[in-house]
């Protein structure tokens, strides 16, 4: 018989989350565009300790992306204009997803999908139908760093609904729709996506921004403008999550400015079921695993037995 007293036994909270019919061992994901296709980060972090990852964008054809420089830092975070560079559907189907299927056993994989037309989105989803290694899709309808597609889909609820409905007909896997924080009524847009068949919403994508090199008097990025990410957009992402949670009842992936366990908790309290980290993980690949440990410690300090108990629990 153990001699330990009840007070000596540490109570460990359950970090598991059920979302869109999927079980995640914890809510911490790697955000799209920052995790590659998993293989790129396998040597610097234990991906299987996380709830999952969202892959880099996948388009029908390969994309070279925007001209360099593509990234610029500023005190509040980072500005990037990668331009959805990716190897295309065939390469992801042949190499990236099979690798993930063979190396991840606990972490869930969501595939981020982009396109210039609705048919492009459907073609990617249909093309991955029989490929193992992932559990759901994230539709990127809100990227600010390309000259066509992207933002237009999310800004028009009618077009967005048609796109989501078309993808819904092409797959039985869960669909998350990633929305921009610049939408005039993000709750109504989320509602339109859910009405058309979305199983979840991701908020937020980056916010358009500009950094000027004062020595050359030219934009710091080769594309000119870019998307703002990092600590500066944490309150924006939390507010968007709160508003979307008030408008729809589907799971939400909160993303933007996450670097500390308290940031994750903010998103959960605002209504997110899952929380993705990006810029902070680029700067320090140890951050995601620290977030998982920190969440467990936060729960123990606050007497929380399960993270599901605090989702949407903000006292507003």
Positions marked active-site? 143
To which H or E segment does residue 104 belong?
none
Rounded to an integer, what distance in angstroms lies between the CA atom of residue 80 and that of residue 286? 22
Output the CA–CA distances (angstroms, integers) from residue 273 to 18, 146, 307, 312, in the order listed: 8, 29, 9, 9
Q: Which residue has the tokens 């990006």?
A: 278
Q: Which alpha helices (H) appear in the chain, and where do they start and end? A: 89-91, 97-103, 118-127, 151-155, 157-170, 186-195, 234-247, 261-270, 279-283, 287-302
Q: DSSP secondary-structure letter at 310?
A: G
Q: What is the dihedral of CA 80, 82, 84, 85, to 10 degrees?
A: -160
Residues 6+ apart with CB under 8 A from 43: none
Rounded to an integer, what distance in angstroms lies between the CA atom of residue 236 and that of residue 77? 14
Rounded to an integer, what distance in angstroms lies between the CA atom of residue 199 and that of residue 176? 6
Residues 6+ apart with CB under 8 A from 139: 112, 113, 121, 163, 164, 167, 175, 176, 177, 178, 198
Q: DSSP secondary-structure letter at 7?
A: G
Rounded to an integer, what distance in angstroms lies between the CA atom of residue 206 and that of residue 17? 25
């Amino acid at each position: 018989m153990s001699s330990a007293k009840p007070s000596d036994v540490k109570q460990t909270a359950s970090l598991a989350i059920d979302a869109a019919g999927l079980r995640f061992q914890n809510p911490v994901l790697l955000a799209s565009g920052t995790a590659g296709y998993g293989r790129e980060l396998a040597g610097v972090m234990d991906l299987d300790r996380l709830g999952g990852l969202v892959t880099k964008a996948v388009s029908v054809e390969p994309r070279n992306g925007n001209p360099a420089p593509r990234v610029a830092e500023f005190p509040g975070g980072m500005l990037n204009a990668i331009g959805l560079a990716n190897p295309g559907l065939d390469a992801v189907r042949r190499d990236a997803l099979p690798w993930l299927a063979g190396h991840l056993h606990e972490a869930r994989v969501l595939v981020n999908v982009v396109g210039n037309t609705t048919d492009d989105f459907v073609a990617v989803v249909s093309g991955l139908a029989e490929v193992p290694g992932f559990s759901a899709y994230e539709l990127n309808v809100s990227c600010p760093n390309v000259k066509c597609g992207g933002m237009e889909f999310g800004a028009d609820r009618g077009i967005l609904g048609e796109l989501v409905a078309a993808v819904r007909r092409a797959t039985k896997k869960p669909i998350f729709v990633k929305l921009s924080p610049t939408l005039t009524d993000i709750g109504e847009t989320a509602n339109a996506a859910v009405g058309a068949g979305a199983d979840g919403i991701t908020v937020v994508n980056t916010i358009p921004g500009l950094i000027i090199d004062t020595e050359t008097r030219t934009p710091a990025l080769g594309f000119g403008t870019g998307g703002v990410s990092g600590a500066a957009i944490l309150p924006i992402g939390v507010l968007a999550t709160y508003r979307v949670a008030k408008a729809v009842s589907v799971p939400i992936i909160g993303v933007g400015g996450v670097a500390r366990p308290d940031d994750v908790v903010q998103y959960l309290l605002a209504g997110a079921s899952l929380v993705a980290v990006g810029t902070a993980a680029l700067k320090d690949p140890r951050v995601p695993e620290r977030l998982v440990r920190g969440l467990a410690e936060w729960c123990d300090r606050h007497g929380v037995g399960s993270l599901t108990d605090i989702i949407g629990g903000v006292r507003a």
